[in-house]
Amino acid sequence: MKIGDDILAEVRGARTIAVVGLSDNPARPSFGVARYLQSQGYRIIPVNPGVSEVLGERAYASLDDIPAAQRPEIVDVFRRAEFVPEIAAAAARIGARLLWLQEGVSHPQAEAAAAAAGMLVVSDACLLKVHSRFVRAQENTA
């Protein structure tokens, strides 16, 4: 998938990323991606009903449970495709600007609904990989 300037600008301008399906197990990909994003200055909001805290941040059972003052600009999804429609709908309800579906995750109907709700959408791509390439490219041009 080609990541356009509009998506890179949204990632660059964001401060808070909700990570849906964030595990507290350091061996899981969601943990590694969230830890990387945190190291890059983003506030991470774990969304997982099975944990109370991950990476020093309070976890929430759902996107709808995140307090309005902490709402994320980006929703990064580490859940199977069958869960994406409800996650996309919740992302729209809370006013997220970018729905990011990690590698191996896509749901064309939910992606279309999210786009129709005004969100940018990326599917089947790793936010860590895209972000690190973007950061390296910026360093090389600086």
- Give the CATH number, domain containing residue 10: 3.40.50.720
In a domain, 127, yes or no: yes
Residue 31 has pLDDT above 80, yes or no: yes
Residue of 116, 135, 18 whose CA lies nearest to 70: 18
Mean pLDDT calculated for residue range 71-81: 98
For the segment 12-23, the average pLDDT, to the nearest whole number, is 97
Cβ burial 71-108 (10 Å sphere, 16+ → b, else e)? ebbbbbbbbebebbeebbebbbebebebbbbbeebbbe
Is residue 110 assigned to a domain?
no
pLDDT score for 142 = 58
pLDDT tens-digit readout, 88-99: 999 999 999 999
State the pLDDT at residue 114.
97
Q: Please check whether residue 83 lies inside any domain of the structure.
A: no
**Does residue 16 belong to any structural domain of this protein?**
yes
> Does residue 136 lie within any of the structural domains?
yes
The arithmetic mean of pLDDT across residues 100-114, rounded, is 97
Q: Examine residue 33 and state whether it is found in any structural domain, yes or no.
A: yes
pLDDT over 70, % of the chain: 94
- Is 48 within the bounds of a domain? yes
The mean of the pLDDT values for the chain is 94
pTM score: 0.94
**Under 8 Å between Cβ of 91 and 99:** yes
Number of separate domains in the chain = 1
Q: Examine residue 123 and state whether it is found in any structural domain, yes or no.
A: yes
